[in-house]
Amino acid sequence: KNEVEQSPQNLTAQEGEFITINCSYSVGISALHWLQQHPGGGIVSLFMLSSGKKKHGRLIATINIQEKHSSLHITASHPRDSAVYICAVWGYNFNKFYFGSGTKLNVKP
């Protein structure tokens, strides 16, 4: 069983739609990261969360520590949001990163 599970694995949306990507984890964590990887391969860190909610432009990330769950929301999606979104957590018990398998998002114009 993977320590970090993401859903959905693939997501196709029309431009303008509201998008939600979910991440559940089974280990104790000190922080959760949402990463974006574009087709060219580069990785950008979108958010680091240890509690509550963060917003940056059209992106919103939330985390519920008790339920071991985080969501990444994209409002008014745009084709340039097409990328793979990866959830990563730092497990404090074993002092290492665990990664989800990623959600491949395709936003059509």
Partner 1 sequence: DSGVTQTPKHLITATGQRVTLRCSPRSGDLSVYWYQQSLDQGLQFLIQYYNGEERAKGNILERFSAQQFPDLHSELNLSSLELGDSALYFCASSVGGRDNSPLHFGNGTRLTVT
Which residues of the shown chain bind partner 1 in the complex (CB under 8 A)?
30-31, 33, 35, 41-45, 48, 50, 86, 88, 90, 95-102
Residue whose CB is less far from partner 1, 56 or 109: 56
Would you say 103 and 9 are in contact if contact means Cβ atoms under 8 Å apart?
yes
| Coil/strand/helix, residue 66 | coil
Q: Which amino acid is at 93?
A: N
Strands 10-14 and 103-108: parallel
Measured from the CB of residue 42, what is the shortest distance to partner 1 in angstroms? 5
Measured from the CB of residue 27, what is the shortest distance to partner 1 in angstroms? 13
